[in-house]
Amino acid sequence: MTVEPAQEIFIFPLGTVLFPGGMLPLKVFEQRYIEMTKACLRDNRPFGVCLIREGREVGTAAVPEPVGCLAAIEQWDMPQLGVFQLLARGGGRFRIREMRVAPNHLISAMVETIPPDARTDAADPLCREVLAAIVEKVGAERFPAPLNLDDAAWIGYRLAEVLPLEARVRQSLLELTDAGQRLERLHDLLVKQGITDPGGSEIP
């Protein structure tokens, strides 16, 4: 799932941050997003998820953060007329270059892709052990397959999803372009929360 540089996509501003590889359940009921969903299903194209910088999820168009994540619809259902239940998977990251708002407050944007983090196997031991403990505690089925506890980028994204972090902190982790730097930041956050030994600490 990729978007060519300077291609236009729909933007769905939300109060949450989507990371590459992450799963996002959505209940879509506003007419603008029903139209977006139909277009994405028809054309087999992703939409973009961005954290809201100003505004709200419903009503007039919110102001999104400029860096977001592509979302591909993997499952969908319409349990009642006018309501979509979606399950979307995070793809690559992008940066908004130009944006326009339709009369129905649906946002479209010209975006450029952000290259994926360079793969590295040098995962921070504390981050890896904490995530492994969380996976064991809650079950591997709660995480997007395949599990990849040897990939620093995958570990960083999954920890950023499950740790009790403010949305702005998650956004800053999404925007980092180096997996090692992301793990360093997460390591510091774990230490601040008193988690230095996954075997003897309370895992969130």
CB 70 within 8 A of CB 9: yes
Last residue of a domain, one of 87, 114, 141: 114
pLDDT in tens, the chain (204 residues): 555 556 899 999 999 999 999 999 999 999 999 999 999 999 999 999 999 999 988 888 999 999 999 999 999 999 999 999 999 999 999 999 999 999 999 999 999 999 998 766 667 899 999 999 999 999 988 898 888 888 999 999 999 999 999 999 999 999 999 999 999 999 999 999 888 766 544 555
- Note the pLDDT tens digit of each residue in 157-175: 999 999 999 999 999 999 9
Range of the domain at 150: 125-192
Same domain, 108 and 137: no
Helix or strand run (H / E) with residue 32: helix 31-43
Same domain, 28 and 74: yes
Q: Does any domain span residue 204?
A: no
Can the peptide bond before residue 125 be classed as cis, meaning omega within 30 degrees of 0? no
- The pTM score is 0.90
Domain containing residue 168: CATH number = 1.10.4060
CB 48 within 8 A of CB 70: yes
Residue 98: beta bridge partners? Answer: 110
